[in-house]
Structure 1
Amino acid sequence: MAFDGSVWRVRSGGEAVGEILIDDMDFPWLSGRFTPGPAFGSVRELFARELALADRDDDWELWEEAYEEIRRRVSLSSPDGPVPEFLLHIEGDRAWFRWSDEPFDED
């Protein structure tokens, strides 16, 4: 799959959270311009909180709880369809993420 110029979609239930137009790759991360959709307002604060906690570097348990809420609320789809696992950050008009075709091991 060619990534540059591809559009990835973020959804919450059946609603569009936004689209990410990929314009940069730094394996394993992809990043791009984020265009919010109608449902972004319902998850905006979750992404802001997750990034604030990640910047603190002092309580990863709180960060994990915040990110788990994001994972419960949103899904990520590549141009080929949904991806089972991802780590997604959104700030302003930028989004960056890594993903996997296979579920992560919980062990």
Structure 2
Amino acid sequence: MGFEGEVWRLERDGRVLGEIVIDDADFPWLSGRFVPESAFAEVEPWFVETLAFVEAEQYDRFEEAYDRIARTLTLVSPSGPVAEFLLHIQGGQAWFRWSDEPFEDA
């Protein structure tokens, strides 16, 4: 797929929190180097918390915590904002999947 080298942005209220430079595409996941802006510090604890819930296999708590990310942040592809996404950020790495349509509820 032609994703490698693309730059995706993470935004909050139109303000860029960081960029993801794609270096791997393993459908349906993309991953790459995360380059944060100073404003990312405001939401970084949210990503730390959600990963901790995943690692502890506390998926109900993960969904509740991740909802804050999904409601508040926007993932912007080179073509524009995506409708829905599942994004993880840890240090200088980010990995995510996205959809142009809202995800179906399980």
Q: Does TM, normalized by the shorter one, top 0.5?
A: yes
Counterpart of 2:33 in structure 1 is 33
| Structure 1: gaps spanning 5 or more residues | none
Counterpart of 2:92 in structure 1 is 93
| Structure 2: gaps spanning 5 or more residues | none
TM-score relative to the length of structure 1: 0.94
Counterpart of 1:13 in structure 2 is 13
- CA offsets 1:41-64 (integer angstroms, 9 cap, x no match): 11000000000000001x211110
CA–CA separation in structure 2 for the residues paired with 1:60 and 1:16? 28
Counterpart of 2:68 in structure 1 is 69
> Is the 8 Å Cα contact of residues 15 and 38 (structure 1) preserved in structure 2?
no
CA–CA separation in structure 2 for the residues paired with 1:100 and 1:14? 20
TM-score relative to the length of structure 2: 0.94
CA–CA separation in structure 2 for the residues paired with 1:105 and 1:87? 13
CA–CA separation in structure 2 for the residues paired with 1:2 and 1:13? 29
**What is the CA-CA distance between 1:37 and the residue it aligns to?**
1.3
Counterpart of 1:4 in structure 2 is 4
Give the % identical residues. Answer: 55
Letter in 2 for 1:52: A
SS in 2 for 1:105: coil
Q: List structure 1 segments (4+ residues) > 4 angstroms apart after TM superposition.
A: none
CA–CA separation in structure 2 for the residues paired with 1:31 and 1:24? 5
CA–CA separation in structure 2 for the residues paired with 1:5 and 1:60? 32
**Is 1:82 the equivalent of 2:54?**
no
Letter in 2 for 1:55: E
